[in-house]
Amino acid sequence: MRTVAIVPAAGSGNRMGRDVSKQYLSLGGTPLLVHSLKVFEECPLVDALLVVVPPQDIDFVRNTLLAPWDMKKVAGVIPGGKERQDSVRAGIEALDPDAGVVIVHDAVRPFTTVELISQCIRTAGEEGAVTVGVPLKDTVKEVAPDGRVMRTCDRSLLWLTQTPQAFRRDIIENAHRAAVRDGFRGTDDASLVERLGIAVRMIRGDYGNIKITTPEDLVIAEAMLAASLKAKG
């Protein structure tokens, strides 16, 4: 059984507010998408990569992004859909019959690690469904639309959820099928599994595994990259 990574990269990056979609923006001279894919290229437990991109960008991604960086595991560049969930589903529909474990990772989280990916894949094989995340650092309050604080949440139970998320193939396939059937929209893949009553394991990721969402995230990412290059000497 093979392990296939699906990398949704078909968004338009509205919150980033740039002309170019954020997955193509440079981080230390290398596009964010390439940074994210490289970690999966380096992970021995990953057999193949499916990259999901805006339909009009397929040739650009193949010729301008993937070819120069010598990606060996990319098995497909697939047209994405309207929302992230549609793009991941397009990846699932393109899976080979021999894919046993599926790991999903946002193209715009360039700081994931081989260790974290490996841990996710192993846990998915043992338990069926896994996400990475980190405990909250700040206090969280629920606030009414008029700005009135309604309550303070119990932070000890709250985790910020990241990717990668990994699943046994049958579990994620069923979860996406059920979401289409029920018209359910989630902001991650694990939530589609949770709603079927299937247990999802949370494993502790890394505070540095940030998602590049708004302009200040790219400033932080450049600083983190510079610090890690310095540490490596």
Q: Where along the sequence are the contacts to Mg ion (CB under 5 A)?
A: 11
Binding track, positions 194-233, relative to ligand CTP; x by CB under 6 A: -----------------x-x--------------------
- Please report whether residue 10 would count as binding ligand CTP according to CB under 6 A: yes
CB of 148 within 8 A of CB of 74? no
CA distances from 185 to 87, 131, 132, 189, 190 (A): 13, 18, 20, 10, 12
Binding track, positions 11-50, relative to ligand CTP; x by CB under 6 A: xxxxx------xx---------------------------
Rounded-to-integer distance, Cα 36 and Cα 34, Å: 5
Smallest distance, Å, CB 17 to ligand CTP?
A: 9
CB of 110 within 8 A of CB of 126? no
Amino acid, single-letter form, for residue 33? L
Smallest distance, Å, CB 74 to Mg ion?
A: 23
Please give the structure tokens belonging to residue 44: 């021995």
Nearest of 140, 135, 136 to residue 151 by alpha carbon: 140
Nearest CB to ligand CTP, comparing residues 33 and 128: 33
* Partner whose binding site includes residue 82, from Mg ion, ligand CTP, none (CB under 5 to 8 Å by kind): ligand CTP
Smallest distance, Å, CB 8 to ligand CTP?
A: 3
